[in-house]
Structure 1
Amino acid sequence: MVFDKDTQDRIDSWTSSEYDQDTVRQVKRLVDDKEETELLDSFYKNLEFGTGGLRGIMGVGSNRMNKYTIGKATQGLANYLKKQFPDQVVKVAVSYDSRNNSKVFGQLVADVFSANDIHVFLFDELRPTPMLSYAVRYYACQGGVMLTASHNPKEYNGYKAYWNDGGQLVAPHDKNVIAEVDAIQSVSAIKFDRCSENITMVGSDFDDLYIAANTRLSIHPEAVSANKELKIVYSPIHGTGLTIVPKMLNAWGFDNVYVVEEQAKPDGNFPTVVYPNPEEEEAMSMAMRKGQELDADVVMATDPDADRVGVAVKNGKGQFQLLNGNQIGSLLVYYVLSSKKDKLELKENDYSVKTIVTTNLIRAISESFDVKCYETLTGFKFIGEVMTELLGKENYLVGGEESYGFLVGDLVRDKDAVNSCAFIAEMTAYFKGKGKTLFDVLIDLYTQYGFYQEKLISLTKKGKSGAEEIKQMMINLRKDAPKTLGGIPVKEIRDYEKQEAYDLLTGSKCGIDLPKSDVLQFITVEGDVISARPSGTEPKIKFYCSVKETLLEPSSFTHVSESLEKKVQRIMADIVKD
């Protein structure tokens, strides 16, 4: 086996006496068995913070999630926090989800922080990501850590780092923390010895605080009271949602909440699904079947750390149909803004937020209510960053991203599926009182604002070779940008890495007022938006397509939908090259 010098040096170092015997034994076994691919993928680099923090496959190695990579990340974060807040008692909150090793990793993180004389608020049982964000704000912490790999497969785990506003790390803190982590050259520099007096356990009493704060955000409690018979089917997909979503729905006044029992127990092996991701129809199938059996009004499911929510509603044929993230977000934005307007509660400084790859229907809805709509890079941490920057100046109402992450109100600085479940249920009750399903309302939106249809294609490219392939795909797109897509001329190219937009028809250029990001967007003369973006949290490159057509009347929905789907397929065939 021949590796580059850096990779070989990392392998050699992990067989030294700095590492525990079990770790050394595992690395030596890989070497003895000549597991070349596994060794290369495990050691060719160090795990880095992406749009969602630290995330990777569990196992031994510098590019894996384990005691040492997590300990190193925590020591680096601890060093940075102490430098940034030198004259304060530094406090952090720590929580974890249902994944294998998450609780062990959470306790490890708490140990390292406590050993660095940082006070830790550690949840005594698994709790959702949004509750970690709320805890950072509630306890006035300078930082926080959530142990989760969100919706990734079972072999993954992850480490989401938070700043004092309750949002995930953004510039310059994300890069600065990486620098602190990289500065740690020896395991001996990591303080692993727990200092119990620096750890405060957070129990179930905190649930009541979080639930009460969210309940006060309810816009139409009278609609809930009038529709208490509303049938809700909910699945936590073996994750943290079970600990809080049913309690939240009950607190809002919903009595008929049916949990999918087969997926209720927290289990890091996720035995009933291939991927614990509510974006996937397969992961939602059990909940949808139960919804059909019970003739439910709405079906919802959350991912393992309960920051994303999938929704299924009855279509015009009475069958349950999945909504995509763009549709859920559009419905929430419309519900919040229209309800606020009806109650004369909209203010001049209200705003919504969406990401650059999220449907422009949200912008159209916002502008129709004279509500400003901000746009950010992909990743809810950037929405949280806008909320923090505008705090005290403008009033955040609602925001979301196409990847099933939404937030109503400003209690946290991250996407919140618990909060979203409550509002989706309330929204369902409100429109049921008007004789409409959420599917009916969605078609009304398409009739009023235009029929927006979106599609996402993800290509998985694992390991070092996969990362290089993804990088080359983006290089090729920049070098030989398509002039037409689906037979439609491209009018504009937006390169977020170069922070420039190019008008191909006039030859003019203009700047993009967003941070640099490896994203390309192609805008056709018909207004279609096609985006290419390497994922910051998974070994994937993602292609997004959004097209639009007029919907003159609801009866034309199926015909127009089929027409748009064919258009999307033609466009995607021109840009997605596997």
Structure 2
Amino acid sequence: MNIQEDILKKANEWLTPTFDAQTQQTIQNMITSNPKELEESFYKNLEFGTGGMRGIMGVGTNRINKYTLGKNTQGIANYMKQVFPNEELKVAIAYDCRHNSDTLAQVVADVFSANGIKVFLFSEMRPTPELSFALKYLHCHAGIVLTASHNPPEYNGYKVYWQDGGQLVPPQDAEIIQVIEALNYNEIHFNANKNLIEYIDKDIDNAFWKSTVENASFNTPAQAKQNLKIVYTSLHGTSIKAIPNVLQLAGYTDLNIVKEQEVPNGDFPTVKSPNPEEPEALTMALNLANQINADLVIGTDPDSDRLGVAVRDTNNKLILLNGNQTMVIMTAYLLEQWKQAGKINGKQFIGSTIVSTPMMLELASAYNVECKVGLTGFKWIAKFIKDFPDLKFIGGGEESFGFMVGDAVRDKDAVAATLLICEIAAQAKASGSSLYKELLNLYVDYGFYKEHLISITKKGIEGANEIKQMMIDLRQNPLTEIAGQRVVCVEDYQSSIGKDFMNNEEFAITVPKSNVLIYYLEDGSKICARPSGTEPKIKFYFSVNTSLDEVTSAPQTEELLDAKIQRIISDMKLN
């Protein structure tokens, strides 16, 4: 195939002495024998998405490597000097279990130190939430985590955190990107000042574990903790460095770890995908739980910010909860704890996202707190904490299996969320109930909400164009009826305009712009279309609901809701 002129030009720039000999040789081989791979490696620059920057590792502008990450880091160093003049600048750096995470973290540390910035670098892999905690604990100006979360093994990534412990948000994100894009690769300072790099580990670990126990414990009796039989898997990831220690510190003694998945491994050899959103990822944990008759199964993703949970239903069968269900259980519990402690006075809030269950709004209303709803990604929930200092954050989550307990960590945190779900399960079991029964009680009180997600993968340049066209079609040919229900409202987060068809009026959407489209139907159903910001996917989120008169009617009601979701999917030709 012929190589496009602009791609060849970008590739030739990487054949200069700025780049090492191995990089140049790899590119030369691509030019002569693998032009398709050359095109994929250079057709664009890696961009910051909802969860930072993620990409396949390799050479080129569209790949994760020492030069793309070095350029990011140099840009951030330059920006920090602009916005924090005359300050002793400090950053914290952590990394996960992926291939090259440790060496890429060292490159990032070297670049910061070469720019005269003090670096606190974890000596070994650590969970992402511990980086957010460490950044604040050490009074740093910024933080970096080398992780690609739950992406496949060939990926790595780069998350940037700011002074408050949360991920980059406007206006800093756009300003930093502008600085990065103005840089040339030969302006990167790679020569480390080793005197400015300090390795951190046990002291921060102990402080993080102690803080987690304080924030996510709620007076569960010791006997109840000891009676809870837990199965836990780290899915070859970093949570093994924190969760067993935190649960032990909190008093949970019956923890059963999936040994085959205990050792960190960037190949993730026992799973197709190290993503607790995927039922297959928890197969080994479920098998162990059935062998030992465990009450609860918990699995976390490689960087330990998401958790999957399985519980026993009313027939004592283990079932997987989705992210909306775990979020609702944990939020309702926190709200009740705060209410009983007399800490709710109208100046509190919970957090959620536009693609998560509307049931969060019902919970907030019942407890007289605000539910702030932002775009997908926990950086927006963390931004609410920063933007509304007069309001106290109780907790919040998103449908993609993330939850945050309080504000000690400013990102989704599977370590604290694991402890919290254990607290709820232990107390429920001690009172003759269960996590699943508690969920059904919530459905009786607030309505039975059922959610479903479809992800359609479209890889490469062609895939990106297909996803783009799907969103164009949905906008240019908007649906007026879905599965026999009228569309009563459409919200377009790209144009920041909502259309209320019942009252024939438009309204402004005040959250930042994003490539998201939401349809609302007359029966209260909600459908959201959104290209992923970190993976080559387009996602469709479905939410339906109805009333539930009594717990015993739950199975039939759930069947009706599932059937409704399938009718919507079929009508939209997504199956």
TM range (shorter): over 0.9
Matches within 5 A, 1:101-116: 101-116=100-115
Q: Tell me what 2:558 maps to.
A: 561
Q: Which amino acid is 2:228 matched to?
A: L
Partner of 2:391: 394
Once residues 192 and 13 of structure 1 are traced to their aligned partners in structure 2, the CA distance between those partners, rounded to angstroms, is: 18
Q: Structure 2 length normalisation: TM-score?
A: 0.98
1:573 matched residue in structure 2: 570
1: distance between equivalents of 2:224 and 2:243? 21
Q: Which amino acid aligns with 1:60?
A: V
Question: Does the residue aligned with 1:347 lie in a helix, a strand or coil?
Answer: coil
CA contact (8 A) 1:111 1:192 kept: yes
> Residue 441 of structure 1 aligns with which residue?
438
Counterparts of 1:65 and 1:105 in 2: how far apart (Å)?
9
Distance 2:571 2:37 in 1: 34
- The match for 1:247 is 245
Offset, 1:17: 2.3
Secondary structure of 2:487 counterpart: strand
Correspondent of 1:547 among 540, 544, 547 = 544
Task: Give the Cα–Cα distance (whole angstroms) in 2 for the partners of residues 562 and 93 of structure 1.
Answer: 49
- Structure 1 residue 339, shift from structure 2 partner: 1.9
Matches of 1:64 and 1:224, distance apart in 2? 50
* Residue matched to 2:68: 69
Distance between the aligned counterparts of 1:484 and 1:354, measured in 2? 27
Instruction: Report what 2:404 is aligned to.
Output: 407
SS in 2 for 1:205: helix
Aligned residue number for residue 13 of structure 1: 13
Closer, same or farther: CA 175–3 of 1 in aligned 2, 3 Å: farther
Shift of 1:226: 3.5
Distance 1:217 1:179 in 2: 38
* Structure 1 position 3, deviation (Å): 3.7
Percent sequence identity is 45
Q: 1:502 aligns with which of 499, 502, 520?
A: 499
Contact 1:223 1:426 in 2 (8 A): no
Instruction: Name structure 2 gaps, 5 residues minimum.
Output: none
TM-score (norm 1): 0.98
From 294, 316, 319, the equivalent of 1:318 is 316
1:67-466 maps to which residues of 2 (within 5 A)? 67-185=66-184, 187-391=185-389, 393-466=390-463
Deviations 1:83-113 (Å, cap 9, x if unpaired)?
Answer: 1111111111000000011011111110000
- 1:222 is paired with a residue of what secondary structure? coil
SS of residue paired to 2:227: coil
1:520 aligned partner? 517
2:220 aligned counterpart, secondary structure: helix
User: Structure 2 CA distance, aligned partners of 1:170 and 1:6?
Assistant: 31
Letter in 1 for 2:280: E
User: 1:227 Cα shift?
Assistant: 3.4
Q: Measure how far apart 1:177 and its partner are.
A: 1.4
Q: 1:563 to 1:226 in 2, by over 3 A?
A: closer
Q: Which amino acid aligns with 2:498?
A: A
Alpha-carbon contact 2:220-2:426 (below 8 Å) kept: no
Whether contact under 8 Å (1:225, 1:253) holds in the other structure is: no
In the aligned structure 1, how far is the partner of 2:354 from the partner of 2:207? 34
Q: In structure 1, what residue type is equivalent to 2:15?
A: T
Q: Note the C-alpha offset of 1:5.
A: 3.2
**Is the contact made by 1:543 and 1:576 (CA closer than 8 Å) also made in structure 2?**
no
Q: For residues 204 and 439 of structure 1, what CA distance do their matches in structure 2 show?
A: 37
SS in 2 for 1:317: coil
The answer to whether the 8 Å contact 1:224/1:426 transfers is no
Partner Cα distance (2:430, 2:218) in 1? 11
SS in structure 1 at match of 2:68:
helix
What are the superposed Cα offsets for residues 56-104 of structure 1, whole Å, 9 maximum, x if unpaired?
0011111001111111111111111111111111111000000011011
Structure 1 residue ranges, 4+ long, deviating more than 6 angstroms after superposition: none
- The amino acid that maps onto 1:448 is D
**Equivalents in 1 of 2:332, 2:391: separation in Å?**
19
| Displacement after TM superposition at 1:434 (Å) | 1.4
* Runs (5+) with no aligned partner, structure 1: none
Shift of 1:577: 4.5
How far apart are the structure 2 equivalents of 1:563 and 1:323? 18
**RMSD, aligned CA:** 1.2
Distance 1:435 1:208 in 2: 34
User: 1:31 maps to what in 2?
Assistant: 31
Deviation at 1:223, TM superposition (A): 3.2
- Shift of the alpha carbon at 1:218? 4.0
Aligned residue in 1 for 2:476: 479
Residue in structure 1 matched with residue 39 of structure 2 by the alignment: 40
- Identify the match of residue 490 of structure 1 among 487, 490, 495: 487
Equivalent positions of 1:525-536 (< 5 A) are 525-536=522-533
Task: Measure, in 2, the Cα distance between the counterparts of 1:340 and 1:277.
Answer: 32
